Amino acid sequence: MDNETLQVIRNRTSLRTYDAAPLREEEENAIIESALLAPTAGNQMLYSMIIIRDQEKKKKLSKLCDYQMFIQAAPLVIVFVADHHRWFDYYRMNGVKKYAEKHGLTFTPPAEGDLMLAVEDAMAAAQNSVIAAESMGIGSCYIGDILENYETVKELLQLPDETFPIAMLCYGRYKSEHKKVFRKRFDRRFVVFEDSYRQLQKEEYEQMFAERAEREFLTQNKYAAKNYAQQFYARKTGASFSKEMTRSVKEALKAWTGE
């Protein structure tokens, strides 16, 4: 099956080098409006979008996100923030706590479940923006490293409690000489199950990772890894940036756990 929307989805890859030309106002507005039309829990829109105009802030974010300096060159950068602050500000301004006490209700500040719901909202909005951008010939790249250095990012973006920066996206036009490289995904039989989770067996894992191991594993590697799993763990999961990400998220969660 094929249509224009499916073609856009299939044609998208992450873009980290951008044409220097700024996006037109109508293009930027279309990206933002598409994000705002994303599915949202109870129409609450539990997210905020912070457009980074200040070049110095772009530079700082580039460094904070593991020195990915292409971020500062992106014509458009948006941080998607999981946000319950706005609703609870509204509650506080309208006497909801006293109302709850009067009527035998428990007034509960935002907690872990609220954060997860806001994360869902924010990521749905982010992905809507990505597809909208791609449909206009504008590439994008998710920056997951915005999860790191929470305290510094919070101060830089003046984030209140009851918020969390869950994703950052860079957008820009493809350079004329850009050649897209499509990275193969895992076969669906290893990812898509029916009715319940299915535990994969050892031989299935070998099949699942065979293509990546053949393409990416280096027998002579700086990690002294003997197989692809060891190499990938050393490079990603067990790397220092992953540990910083965990530390950062734990610190951010304190505002949601009451610690």
Using pLDDT thresholds of 50, 70 and 90, give the confidence band for residue 49. very high
pLDDT surpasses 80 at 30: yes
Measured CA to CA, the distance from residue 122 to residue 147 in angstroms comes to: 14
pLDDT, residue 147, reads: 98
* Dihedral angle over CA of 100, 102, 104, 105, nearest 10: 0
Q: Give me the mean pLDDT over the 120-125 stretch.
A: 99
pLDDT surpasses 80 at 4: yes
Nearest to 140 by CA among 237, 250, 55, 34: 34
Q: What percent of the chain has pLDDT over 70?
A: 100
Domain ranges of the chain: 4-183
pLDDT tens column, 66-75: 999 999 999 9
pLDDT, residue 235, reads: 95
Listing DSSP states for 25-48 in one string gives HHHHHHHHHHHHTS--GGG---EE
pLDDT, residue 220, reads: 79
Place of tokens 């920056």: 143
63, 77, 173, 248 from 56: Cα distances, Å: 11, 13, 22, 23
pLDDT surpasses 90 at 110: yes
Mean pLDDT over each residue of the chain, to the nearest integer: 96
pLDDT surpasses 90 at 258: no
Q: Give me the mean pLDDT over the 232-245 stretch.
A: 96
Measured CA to CA, the distance from residue 256 to residue 84 in angstroms comes to: 10
CB 145 within 8 A of CB 68: yes
Annotation: CATH topology of 4-183: NADH Oxidase (3.40.109)
Q: What is the pTM of this model?
A: 0.95
pLDDT surpasses 90 at 219: no
Q: Give me the mean pLDDT over the 31-46 stretch.
A: 99
pLDDT, residue 218, reads: 84
pLDDT surpasses 80 at 77: yes
pLDDT, residue 58, reads: 98
Measured CA to CA, the distance from residue 10 to residue 4 in angstroms comes to: 10
Q: Give me the mean pLDDT over the 14-29 stretch.
A: 97
Q: Give me the mean pLDDT over the 124-145 stretch.
A: 98
